[in-house]
């Protein structure tokens, strides 16, 4: 994958997440641009799931106190849960819980 393709995919992931966050998109956004970059809606959903999993894991610092860790987990989960629901990835909830264990 070229730098240009990587940059375009990143831009489209940001765009898709923004659309999901605004509440206007009740499901995974899809367009010709997304098709060219990701191929299928499933691959776009997979890329978003990967992004959210990495974000979640990166922010759950094991050095946090148990209280801080639980609060961070709850905040991150509350932020991501509506997005997961909109793209139909309930299994990601289990993955995030497992990742934090």
pTM for this structure? 0.82
What pLDDT is stored for residue 83 in this prediction?
Answer: 85
pLDDT tens for residues 47-60? 998 998 898 888 88
Number of structural domains found in the chain: 1
Residue 2, phi-psi category: left (phi > 0), alpha (psi -120 to 50), beta (remainder) = beta
Question: What tokens appear for 30 in the block?
Answer: 């899809």
pLDDT bin (cut points 50, 70, 90) of residue 100 is low
* 7-47 confidence digits (pLDDT tens): 999 999 999 999 998 877 678 899 999 999 999 999 999 99
User: What is the domain range of residue 39?
Assistant: 3-100
| pLDDT band at 99; cut points 50, 70, 90 | low
């Amino acid at each position: 994958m070229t730098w240009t393709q990587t940059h375009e995919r990143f831009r489209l992931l940001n765009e898709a997440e923004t659309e999901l966050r605004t509440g206007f998109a009740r499901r995974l956004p899809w367009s010709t641009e997304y098709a060219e970059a990701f191929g299928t809606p499933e691959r776009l959903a997979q890329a978003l799931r990967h992004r959210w999993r990495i974000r979640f894991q990166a922010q759950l610092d094991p050095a946090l106190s148990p209280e801080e860790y639980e609060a961070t987990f709850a905040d991150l989960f509350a932020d991501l849960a509506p997005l997961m629901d909109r793209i139909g990835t309930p299994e990601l909830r289990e993955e995030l819980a497992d990742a934090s264990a």
